[in-house]
């Protein structure tokens, strides 16, 4: 197999020979599973280690001790997220300590068979991480859990109005748009950070970008990332239940996510009250105390383990995902749908057309209080419709997600394409590696599930 050219979309180590996979380095702001990106970064490290791979993590926060116990070598800065830090303005633009950590780790530990996977950097690590990773760029893979690669506010959305943004990042129209949730001064800072990021990221020669939904591709390409460098890779999903939840017999509304304005927990509570339906909220966040006082009839369960979420979901009639900005994926929606729960979500969610087409969901703008409540009221009154949606969700949405094992197989395929081949540890028995010592490189953009 020929080696890559070093332009970002080739494979190989640049030595003229393919190399076996010796270690995988997962890079993320956080070592704790707070939010989808961090949860996926941590989950990938754990599952790869369970398969017998040598895994390291480079993180911006204080390392979670549980990762070391799982056999993962973690190096961390011990820093907090930017919001509320005195040094946020400067560190957010260029975190020198983060760059030094990554650069030093590479100097001490890199091998021709080491693959680097960058997840999140906007909260702690900053754009400096791209400069630090420059020496190993042809062995780098990037996950796009959001749009920070292509948009200063990370969402291609005007947060003041909820309208999608049609502009190219840093264009005159972009800079004039009052889109930031914290005002124009913060927008100016975000624009400055994006300018720094674009200079060191060099989108025109991007390493492979793994987008969690195919509909992200044109938005990421708007930033100059070549189309051939963008590869859809659906999230891994473990359903709330492996058997169909008999939603038509239940009466509760279920919300799973951070209790904060961006996720629309307040919109869910208002709509449930208007529809006279009981509501359960799983998660925590800055707005929990205020909303619990304002909605004493609601059940706030807090953060729960997956099994406990499944127990609550078993009594739910519908899951609501009322995010105020476009969700690139929407993990809770898929966890619910695969278990047979109908879903109500905004049209801006990238999964919305897929779930609606499957007959599993209703798309409604959660900011339209009357329409949102009307959708809940309609489901509360129609057992037949709920049953039909439940059965469709359970049977007709499997193609929209990967199992955790299929997801790891797909990641290994992408890693293999960066090195030329992947050596699988003896004893591996899961996924496409079962019974084999070598995974042949699959074309980027394909997975064990054929997605």
Predicted pLDDT at 355: 98
**HEC string of 24-38?**
EEEEECCCCCCCHHH
Cα radius of gyration (the chain): 22
Average pLDDT in the 214-231 region?
97
Query: To the nearest whole percent, how much of the chain has pLDDT over 70?
Result: 89
- How much is the pLDDT for 181? 86
Q: Which two tokens stand for residue 308?
A: 């406990």
Residue 425 pLDDT grade (very low, low, confident, very high; cuts 50, 70, 90): low
| Average pLDDT of every residue of the chain | 89
Q: What is the pLDDT of residue 432?
A: 34
Q: Is the pLDDT of residue 222 over 70?
A: yes
**258 close to 285: Cβ distance less than 8 angstroms:** yes
Sign of the alpha-carbon torsion through 120, 122, 125, 131 = positive
- pLDDT digits 0-9 by tens, 81-120: 887 677 888 999 999 999 999 999 999 999 999 999 999 9
Residue 130 has pLDDT above 60, yes or no: yes
pLDDT at 174 over 80: yes
C-alpha–C-alpha distance, residues 159 and 133, integer Å: 32
Q: For residue 18, what pLDDT band results from cuts at 50, 70 and 90?
A: low
Q: How far apart are CA 336 and CA 321, in angstroms?
A: 10
**pLDDT tens digits for range 388-408:** 999 999 999 999 999 999 999
Looking at residue 434, what is its pLDDT? 30
> How sure is the predictor about 8, in pLDDT bands with cuts at 50, 70 and 90?
very low
Label residue 78 exposed, middle or buried (CB < 10 Å: 0-12, 13-18, 19+).
Answer: exposed
Element (H, E) at 317: strand 316-320
> Which residue from 96, 143, 92, 98 is spatially nearest to 116, judged by alpha carbons?
143
- How far is residue 394's CA from residue 340's CA, in Å, rounded to a whole number? 4
pLDDT digits (tens, 9 = 90+) for 177-198: 999 988 999 999 999 999 999 9
Distance between CA 424 and CA 446 in Å, rounded?
19
Please report which confidence band the pLDDT of residue 427 belongs to, taking 50, 70 and 90 as the band edges: very low
Residues 6+ apart with CB under 8 A from 224: 203, 204
Q: Where do the domains of the chain lie, and which CATH numbers do they carry?
A: 23-234+403-440 (3.40.50.2000), 247-400 (3.40.50.2000)
Q: Residue 408: exposed, middle, or buried by beta-carbon count in 10 A (0-12, 13-18, 19+)?
A: buried
pLDDT at 340 over 70: yes
Mean pLDDT of 52-75: 97
pLDDT at 259 over 60: yes
Q: Tell me the sheet residues that pair with 24.
A: 55, 115
**Cα–Cα–Cα angle for 390, 363, 358, rounded to 5 degrees:** 45
């Amino acid at each position: 197999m020929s080696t890559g050219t070093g332009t970002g979309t080739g494979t190989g180590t640049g030595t003229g020979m393919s190399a076996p996979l010796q270690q995988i380095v997962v890079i993320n702001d956080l070592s704790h599973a707070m939010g989808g990106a961090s949860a996926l970064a941590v989950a990938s490290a754990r599952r790869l280690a369970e398969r017998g791979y040598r895994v390291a993590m480079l993180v911006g926060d204080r390392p979670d001790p549980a990762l070391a116990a799982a056999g993962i070598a973690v190096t961390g800065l011990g820093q907090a997220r930017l919001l509320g830090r005195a040094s946020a303005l400067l560190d957010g633009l260029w975190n020198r300590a983060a760059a030094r950590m990554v650069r030093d780790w590479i100097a001490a530990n890199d091998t021709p068979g080491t693959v680097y996977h960058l997840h999140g950097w906007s909260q702690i690590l900053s754009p400096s991480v791209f400069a630090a990773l420059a020496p190993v760029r042809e062995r780098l893979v990037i996950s796009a859990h959001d749009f920070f690669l292509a948009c200063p506010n990370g969402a291609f959305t005007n947060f003041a109005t909820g309208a999608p943004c049609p502009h190219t990042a840093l264009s005159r129209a972009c800079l004039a748009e009052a889109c930031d949730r914290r005002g124009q001064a913060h927008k100016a800072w975000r624009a400055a950070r994006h300018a720094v990021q674009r200079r060191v990221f060099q989108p025109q020669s991007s390493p492979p970008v793994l987008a969690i939904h195919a509909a992200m591709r044109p938005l990421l390409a708007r930033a100059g990332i070549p189309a051939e460098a963008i590869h859809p890779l659906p999230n891994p999903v473990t359903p709330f239940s492996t058997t169909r939840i008999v939603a038509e017999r239940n009466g509760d509304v279920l919300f799973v996510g951070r209790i904060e304005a961006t996720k629309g927990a307040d919109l869910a509570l208002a709509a449930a009250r208007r529809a006279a339906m009981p509501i359960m909220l799983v998660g925590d966040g800055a707005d929990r105390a205020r909303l619990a006082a304002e909605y004493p009839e609601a059940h706030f369960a807090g953060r729960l383990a997956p099994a406990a979420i499944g127990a609550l979901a078993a009594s739910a009639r519908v899951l609501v995902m009322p995010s105020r900005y476009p969700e690139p994926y929407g993990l809770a929606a898929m966890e619910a749908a695969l278990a047979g729960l109908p879903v109500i979500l905004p049209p801006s969610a990238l999964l919305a057309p897929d779930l609606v087409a499957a007959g599993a969901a209703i798309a409604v703008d959660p900011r339209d209080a009357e329409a949102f409540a009307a959708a809940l009221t309609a489901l509360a009154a129609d057992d037949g419709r709920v049953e039909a949606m439940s059965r469709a969700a359970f049977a007709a949405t499997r193609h929209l997600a990967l199992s955790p094992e299929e997801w790891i197989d797909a990641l290994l395929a992408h890693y293999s394409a960066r090195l030329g081949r992947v050596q699988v540890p003896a004893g591996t028995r899961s996924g496409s590696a079962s019974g084999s010592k070598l995974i042949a490189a699959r074309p980027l953009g394909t997975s064990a599930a054929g997605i």
